[in-house]
Copies of this chain bind each other. A is one copy, B any other.
C-alpha cells in the first residue's frame, strides 16, 4: 500500500480536513479520502519528456546544475506541464536547459519506470543551427559524437538506454520506435526489458 501511495497526503486540498486511507466503494486500490467533503485524492504516474537533438552526427548533452545527479550528463528532459503536448514539452525542456531549438521532432522511445511511477517519452530531432548554451539548470552543454559520450557520467539509466538505442539504430541506418521497461529492483540493480 505504501508504494501505491507515493506522495504522502495528510490534509484534503479542497476543505483542509484530515484524510484517511481506504479502498473507495467500487474501487480496488487504497486512496487518500476526505470523509468531510468526500474528495478522493488520486495519485497517478508522471510523464517526463525529452529529446536526442543531433547536429552533424553529434548529440546535445547537458551537465546538470541541480540535484539529483548534480554534475552528471543528461539529455534535455523534464516533467511535462499541463496544457501542452509531449512534443511541445520536449521542445520547452530543450529551450530551458540548453537555450536550443529543435526541428523535425519525431517520437523515438517510450520507457516505463514503474518503481518511481514515471513514463518517459523521448523524441529525436535536429538541433537548429547547431546552437546551444547552458540554461539555468545546466552547468554546461556540449555536442558529443558516439565515441565521446561520457557513458560512466550519465545521470540516469533511461538516458543511457536512449543513447544506446539511438547509436545502434544509426549504425544500421534505420530508426525504429522503441518501448521498454527500466526497473530498479529491491537489490538496487537496474533491469531493462524491451518489447
Contact = CB atoms under 8 A, between A and B. Distances in A.
Contact of A110 (B19, B81, B110): B110
Interface in A115-153: 115, 117, 119, 121, 136
Given A11-B11, A110-B107, A136-B26, A44 B46 contact: yes
Interface residues of A, number: 51
Contacts of A4: 81-83
Contacts of A106: 195
Nearest to A79: B44
A4 B29 CA distance: 28
Contacts of A136: 26
B110 A29 contact: no
A56 interface: no
B26 A82 contact: no
Contacts of A11: 11-16
Interface string A82-117: 111111100000001000000001110010101101
A23 interface: no
B12 A87 contact: no
B13 A117 contact: no
A47 interface: yes
Interface string A1-44: 00111101111111110110000001011000000000001111
A123 to B, nearest CB: 10
Contact of A3 (B6, B41, B83, B88): B83
Interface of A: 3-6, 8-16, 18-19, 26, 28-29, 41-47, 79-88, 96, 105-107, 110, 112, 114-115, 117, 119, 121, 136, 177, 179, 181, 195
